[in-house]
Structure 1
Amino acid sequence: MFKVPVSCFIISKNEGDRIGRTIRSVRPWVDEVVVIDSESSDDTVSVALAEGCRVITQSWLGFGSQKRFGEDQCRNNWVFNLDADEVVTPQLAREIIAMFANGDPVFVAYGMPIQMVYPGATTPRPMARDHWYVRLYDRRYVRFRNSKIHDTVVTDEHPIGWFQAPVFHYSMRSFADMKRKLDERTWLLVENSGLNSKLELASRLLIELPMNFFKYYVVRRHCTGGLKGLRYAWIQARYRFLKIYRLWRSGKVRSGPSSIAA
């Protein structure tokens, strides 16, 4: 198979049960796979090494900062970021291979749909509409934001290309695991928040739960996911509400306007 001049880098911690599947979805067609491991206590490192990856241990720097560290470890300027619970579909792999086979890419960064898969399922729900993220890019021009809580590629004024085929995101081992992760992320956002408007927080306490339930259940089409979709939308909406409530209780308030962390 034609190998593209791309380094795939993956950050990990205790992902031994699923990182192998992630690696195998890219290993045959990328130039290298680099795993940045945050001192896992399971077999993540041995699994990655057995799959032919280069593994580098780095204590946790924060979401964006860890990925910036990963960018620096790659030998190619074109890099492809995956999380350890994501899998590149064969259709997306073919799109990427074809783009490089036809010469230099037109854009310096490319986004793609990231479609979530419910616990126990193998594919996303019908008509899934979750997220579009930039994951394939030339690090000489764009990079991840250097942030403890946000992990997005900053593209500034650069135009972006888009692939049509998705990455499958197996983000939850179970719904209990989903609640644990959202709880940890919510507290992290509260801890790293600046001062927030007391009036804005009060108004958002009234609308946050129904607004986000509508967003996830209808706009992002979890209504097509049956009972699991209903449960997913409710959990997401509840923790969005809890974020605002915890900000309110934290005492990080002021009388003027503010911008609340997403």
Structure 2
Amino acid sequence: MVNKISAVIITLNEEKNIGRCLSSLQGVADEIIVVDSGSTDDTQHIAMQYGAQFIVQPWQGYGKQKNIAAEKAKYEFILSLDADEALSEQLRSTLIAIKNQPMADAYQFNRLTNYCGQWIRHCGWYPDKKIRLWRKGMASWTTPRIHETIKLAGGVNAKPIQGDLLHYTYYTIAEHIAVANKYTTLVAQEYADRGKKPTLIKLFLSPIFGFLRDYFLRLGLLDGYYGFVICLVAAFSTFLKYAKLKQLLQEEK
């Protein structure tokens, strides 16, 4: 008996990415569910061209939105992707084999990121291990303000499998900086909620140590110019989240 896969994706104005994602699912997913939080571009039209079930759902946060999408799935296995991700050919082949002969209740594979047209294999960005395929009921997304992760049911272990999940992240450096600005604001708010304090060491030394770690120890220098940019933006983001946290705490006084 061939097991079936439900692919679930959350979207908001993803017309430049969604077609590539859905195309890679052809022949792998037995149903595709797109849960959209109010796109005003061509996302819905593209999704429906690929036969996806398109559901409009007001934004609930990353983890909650992904859990809502997973709840809509009707088949045995759930494959959860972001709109800017796509299956590599090797990963497609591996998933098809799993449908014919499942070996576990959850699966983990590496994510390879494309930054401004270049594949990044260092900087701490690869291998970026992700659990994205699981048997229904065996996992769910956590629901923090940002950086949601998969929580497996008790006793379930994720089996590593072959093939990369391709992540088309930033098309320009400006886009990267804009997202870093948005996310550091969310992180600062989360830190404030948890009572975390922006010590001088965190504010001034963490960005420096972070850059040295990513660029030298994690070999970001081997990714050339964009490796340098990635490590520098990451270091500045570390500074920003603590600087914003400091400002938030001052405003609360």
Does the pair score TM above 0.5?
A: yes
Residue 207 of structure 1 corresponds to 205
Map 1:48-127 to 2 at 5 A. Answer: 48-101=47-100, 103=101, 105-121=102-118, 124-126=119-121
TM-score, with structure 1 as normaliser: 0.87
- Cα distance in 2 between the residues matched to 1:229 and 1:144: 30
What RMSD in Å do the two structures reach over aligned CA positions?
2.2
- Cα distance in 2 between the residues matched to 1:87 and 1:245: 35
Pair 1:203–1:171, CA change in 2 (3 A): same
- Cα distance in 1 between the residues matched to 2:59 and 2:142: 15
2:240 pairs with 223, 236, 242, which one?
Answer: 242
SS in 2 for 1:30: coil
- Cα distance in 2 between the residues matched to 1:220 and 1:76: 40
Residue 11 of structure 2 corresponds to 12
Task: Tell whether the 8 Å contact from 1:77 to 1:139 is kept in structure 2 after alignment.
Answer: yes
Task: Tell whether the 8 Å contact from 1:4 to 1:97 is kept in structure 2 after alignment.
Answer: no
The residue identity in structure 2 corresponding to 1:141 is M
- Cα distance in 2 between the residues matched to 1:221 and 1:228: 12
Residue 133 of structure 2 corresponds to 136
Task: Tell whether the 8 Å contact from 2:112 to 2:121 is kept in structure 1 after alignment.
Answer: no
- Cα distance in 1 between the residues matched to 2:185 and 2:84: 22
Residue 166 of structure 2 corresponds to 168
The residue identity in structure 2 corresponding to 1:146 is T
Q: Does residue 35 in structure 1 map to residue 34 in structure 2?
A: yes
Q: Spell out, residue by residue over 1:110-154, the C-alpha distance to the aligned partner (whole angstroms, 9 max, x if none).
A: 111111111133xx2456624111100123121111333232110
The residue identity in structure 1 corresponding to 2:173 is F
SS in 2 for 1:117: strand
Q: Does residue 196 in structure 1 map to residue 205 in structure 2?
A: no
Pair 1:14–1:221, CA change in 2 (3 A): farther
Unaligned runs of 5+ in 1: 254-262
- Cα distance in 1 between the residues matched to 2:232 and 2:60: 31
Task: Tell whether the 8 Å contact from 1:67 to 1:151 is kept in structure 2 after alignment.
Answer: no
Task: Tell whether the 8 Å contact from 1:64 to 1:151 is kept in structure 2 after alignment.
Answer: yes
Structure 1 outlier segments of 4+, above 4 Å: none
Q: Spell out, residue by residue over 1:31-80, the C-alpha distance to the aligned partner (whole angstroms, 9 max, x if none).
A: 11111111011101111111111111111110101100010111113101
- Cα distance in 1 between the residues matched to 2:138 and 2:249: 40
Pair 1:54–1:109, CA change in 2 (3 A): same
- Cα distance in 2 between the residues matched to 1:19 and 1:59: 19
SS in 1 for 2:241: helix
Residue 147 of structure 1 corresponds to 144
Give the superposition deviation at 1:224.
1.9
Task: Tell whether the 8 Å contact from 1:3 to 1:29 is kept in structure 2 after alignment.
Answer: no
44-53 vs 154-163, greater mean Cα deviation: 154-163
Q: Spell out, residue by residue over 1:199-254, the C-alpha distance to the aligned partner (whole angstroms, 9 max, x if none).
A: x632211321122213432444432211011111111111122111211221189x
- Cα distance in 2 between the residues matched to 1:162 and 1:221: 24
Residue 257 of structure 1 corresponds to none
TM-score, with structure 2 as normaliser: 0.90
Residue 223 of structure 1 corresponds to 221
Kindly, what percent of the aligned residue pairs are identical?
Answer: 26
Task: Tell whether the 8 Å contact from 2:5 to 2:99 is kept in structure 1 after alignment.
Answer: no
